[in-house]
Amino acid sequence: MRIFLIFLSAFIFSRSIAPEVQPFVVIWNIGQGQWITVVTNNVCIHFDMGGEWLPNYGNRRTPPVLKLCSDKLNRVYLSHSDMDHIKFLSWGMDHLLQLCDAAPPLDPMNARKRALIAKVPRCHSPLPTREVKVVEITPRFKTHEFSGHNDFSRIFVIYGPYRAILIPGDSEAHAEAVWSKRLYNLPPVQILVAGHHGSKTSTSETLLRALPNLQIAVASARKARYGHPDPIVVARLRADGVPLLRTEIWGNIALQL
Ligand SMILES: [Zn+2]
């Protein structure tokens, strides 16, 4: 009887403590585009919500992003308004609990895109977790300094307890030369999502010099259709000894932060 009670109390005790999960990030296999989710115990933080298809789930019924995030708060940070970065915002509103927009795109948008963005209400509270920290290092270009649409990309670094990931959207080399300077004043970054899906216009040597602790890079792209990641980017990373994982080969890629 005493043993039974010990088991019973151990069972009740274990049930009364919510499971603690170390924060992790998932770079979803969504074809070419961007949808990245940082998962903590109480909130899913999405960086863009785009791609060619919903996060790949093979023959399973429930998309894995729902398995991870349907019982958590959800917020999204948007790099810019290209459709491969925002296409599934409507789906997110229909399926993700209390989804709000913590960082709307900064680029000029047509009416269709504005309507899509407006479906997601703005977040009115600070990030409801201390497990991770989101730092934005987007440069504020003056009008004459802009050289193209991708210069509007918002750049985020997400710090977990042990590792950080840099998500540069579709930012290109001359912008990297500006915002990469800020990385020297921040704690080191270990994980890089290759900018602009691994295009040769991004992941410059200037940026890589600002990432001396980089351990791994990920390309959310499709080689056969778009030619990304570009062999030049692959070679630049290889010269630094940094492996490049591709979502089209590895599927959804999860890394602990
Ligand atoms: Zn893009």
Q: For 102-152, what is each residue's pLDDT tens digit? A: 999 999 899 999 999 999 999 999 999 999 999 999 998 776 677 777 888
CA–CA separation, 69 and 43 (whole Å): 7
CA of 97 to the centre of ligand 1 (A): 26
Structural domains of the chain, ranges and CATH numbers in brackets = 19-256 (3.60.15.10)
Taking the centre of ligand 1 as the mean of its atom positions, its distance from the CA of residue 51, in whole angstroms, is 8
- Burial tier of 135 (Cβ tally within 10 Å: 0-12, 13-18, 19+): middle
Distance 234 CA to ligand 1 centre (A): 18
pLDDT tens for 148-179 read 778 889 999 999 999 999 999 999 999 999 99
Percent of the chain with pLDDT strictly greater than 90: 77
Q: Give one word for 51, left, alpha or beta, with left for phi > 0 and alpha for psi -120 to 50.
A: left
Burial class (CB in 10 A: 0-12, 13-18, 19+), 78: buried
pLDDT for res 141: 77
Q: Of 34-43, 118-127, 205-214, 222-231, give the lowest mean pLDDT range.
A: 222-231
Beta strand pairing status for 43-47 and 73-77? parallel
- State residue 143's pLDDT score: 66
Q: What is the pLDDT of residues 20-66, one digit of tens each?
A: 789 999 999 999 899 999 999 999 999 999 999 888 766 667 789 99
pLDDT for the residue 13: 42
For CA atoms 151, 154, 160, 165, give the dihedral sign.
negative
Residues with Cβ within 8 Å of 172's Cβ and at least 6 positions away in sequence, in order, are 147, 148, 150, 151, 195, 196, 199, 201, 202
Q: Residue 186 Cα, ligand 1 centroid: separation in angstroms?
A: 26
Question: Which residues, by Cβ under 5 Å, contact ligand 1, an ion?
Answer: 82, 84, 170
Ligand 1 mean position to 183 CA, how many Å?
22
Other residues' Cβ atoms within 10 Å of the Cβ of residue 153: 28
User: Is 202's pLDDT higher than 80?
Assistant: yes
Span from the CA of 151 to the centroid of ligand 1 (angstroms): 12
The amino acid present at 6, given as its one-letter code, is I
Q: Mean pLDDT throughout 1-23? A: 53
Q: Ligand 1 centre from 84 Cα, in Å? A: 6
How far, in Å, is the centroid of ligand 1 from the Cα of 66? 23
Classify 54 in phi/psi space as left (phi over 0), alpha (psi -120 to 50) or beta: beta
* Burial (Cβ within 10 Å: 0-12, 13-18, ≥19) of residue 66: middle
Q: How far apart are CA 257 and CA 137, in angstroms?
A: 19
Encoded amino acid at 205, one letter: E
- Alpha carbon 201 to its chain's center: 20
What is the tally of helices (H) and strands (E) in the chain? 10, 12
- Rounded to the nearest integer, the mean pLDDT of the chain is 90
86 Cα to the center of ligand 1, angstroms: 10
Ligand 1: distance of its center to the CA of 68 in Å? 24
Coil, strand or helix: which one is 21?
coil
Q: What is the distance in A from the centroid of ligand 1 to the CA of 2?
A: 62
Give the integer Cα–Cα distance in Å for 71 and 40. 11
Distance of CA 16 from the midpoint of ligand 1 (Å): 43
User: Residue 32 C-alpha to ligand 1 middle, in angstroms?
Assistant: 7
| Predicted local distance difference test score (pLDDT) of residue 59 | 63
Please, what sign has the CA dihedral across residues 123, 95, 44, 249?
negative
Global pTM reads: 0.90
Q: What percent of the chain has pLDDT over 70?
A: 89
